[in-house]
Amino acid sequence: MKIVIIGADGQLGTDLVKIFPKNELVPLTIYDVDITDRAKTLKVIKQHSPDVVINTAAYNHVDKCEDHEVPAFAVNTYGVKYVAEACLETGAALVHISTDYVFDGAKGSPYLETDQPNPQSIYAISKYAGEQCVKSILNKYFIVRSSGLYGAAGCLGKGGGNFVEGMLKRAASQSELKVVADEILAPTYSLDLAKNIYELIKTKHYGLYHIVNHGSCSWYDFTVKIFELLDRKVVIHRLTAAEFKAKAKRPQYSVLKNANLEKIGLDKMRPWPEALKAYLAEKGHLKT
Ligand SMILES: NC(=O)c1ccc[n+]([C@@H]2O[C@H](COP(=O)([O-])OP(=O)(O)OC[C@H]3O[C@@H](n4cnc5c(N)ncnc54)[C@H](OP(=O)(O)O)[C@@H]3O)[C@@H](O)[C@H]2O)c1
């Protein structure tokens, strides 16, 4: 199975490259293919003639999207449309990565794939529109929604860090941290997500999938767990999202349930505290 990965040097892309057998892989960065260029996207995908394309590319700085909706839609919607069109033309299946932020957070219990999205920010609207392009163009697709990703490479779209590294950096220079406690999610280790995507694409069970580490927590709870696992005493205060004053509106509750993955017996995701511990070990933060 020949697999093209778009965004191969990103946070998730790097972990996909780690997991997938090298002889099957064509890892592409933005220098090989910029998905906002329709002609080039078609040309490059045709040239490799893959069985599967995995699109991890995104304009994913959520707050920045509010003032930069043109590039946000160019990558998250039109770019996705072009990749889907290239897959249609070459017969490749598409794995497209989307987000928990397509939901408004009002449900208050884990979101299933059958729940109706109601995106609340430019980022979320552009990502949901990208999903719609995939669905309307292709039959052979996996749309994978995940949440609060952190991985060893860090998120390129957010300056190369991730939430965990951000907290560690802040704790190095500040004696007390303030963290949002009223946004609940299922933070997910991108290495676990990559492993489960690999299992999923070996099946022909196309469709929409939620793939997150199990359980849920607030950003505050997540931060407390980071320092607990590292056995470090850090004073952490609860902040409300209203006090934090982020530019983009985020869902207060965006926990996803891996319902479709469970149905096909492929939910290999572990609880988020275990995944966090494994991440801290991978990065060498945790002495084992
Ligand atoms: N990070 C999260 O918390 C989170 C949560 C839920 C879902 N997601 C989704 O998960 C996916 C992967 O996120 P990530 O954290 O791995 O992000 P990331 O580290 O920013 O990786 C995105 C990759 O896409 C590339 N890219 C950006 N624009 C492109 C374009 N026009 N053409 C081709 N490549 C382009 C980036 O390259 P350059 O940086 O060099 O431009 C980077 O390699 C995204 O679809 C995102 O929406 C992320």
pLDDT tens figures, 140-199: 999 999 999 999 999 887 788 999 999 999 999 998 999 999 999 999 999 999 999 999
Asked whether residue 278 is domain-assigned, the answer is yes
Ligand 1 lined by 280 (C-beta under 6 Å) = no
Asked whether residue 10 is domain-assigned, the answer is yes
Ligand 1 lined by 148 (C-beta under 6 Å) = yes
pLDDT of residue 288: 63
Give pLDDT < 70 ranges for the chain.
Answer: 288
- Which positions ≥6 away from 146 have C-beta within 8 Å? 97, 98, 99, 100, 188, 193, 210, 211, 212, 256
Instruction: Tell me how far apart the alpha carbons of residues 16 and 93 are, in angstroms, rounded to a whole number.
Output: 16
Ligand 1 lined by 99 (C-beta under 6 Å) = yes
**Ligand 1 centroid to residue 287 C-alpha, Å:** 30
Asked whether residue 72 is domain-assigned, the answer is yes
The residue nearest atom 41 of ligand 1, judged by CA position, is 30
Asked whether residue 215 is domain-assigned, the answer is yes
3-class DSSP state of 239: strand
**Ligand 1 centroid to residue 246 C-alpha, Å:** 20
> Would you give the distance in Å from CA 139 to the centre of its chain?
22
Instruction: Tell me how far apart the alpha carbons of residues 192 and 213 are, in angstroms, rounded to a whole number.
Output: 8
* Number of structural domains in the chain: 1
Asked whether residue 124 is domain-assigned, the answer is yes
Asked whether residue 287 is domain-assigned, the answer is no
93 close to 137: Cβ distance less than 8 angstroms: no
Six-digit token pair at 241? 């999202």
Q: List, by residue number, the catalytic residues.
A: 123
Q: Where are the beta strands (DSSP E) in the chain?
A: 3-6, 25-28, 52-55, 93-99, 141-146, 149-150, 176-180, 184-185, 188-189, 207-210, 217-218, 235-239
Asked whether residue 288 is domain-assigned, the answer is no
| Domain enclosing residue 147, as ranges | 3-282
Number of Cβ atoms within 10 Å of the Cβ of 186: 26
**102: domain CATH number?**
3.40.50.720
3-class DSSP state of 286: coil
pLDDT of residue 157: 78
Number of Cβ atoms within 10 Å of the Cβ of 112: 14
- 139-148 per-position pLDDT tens digit: 999 999 999 9
pTM to 2 decimals? 0.97
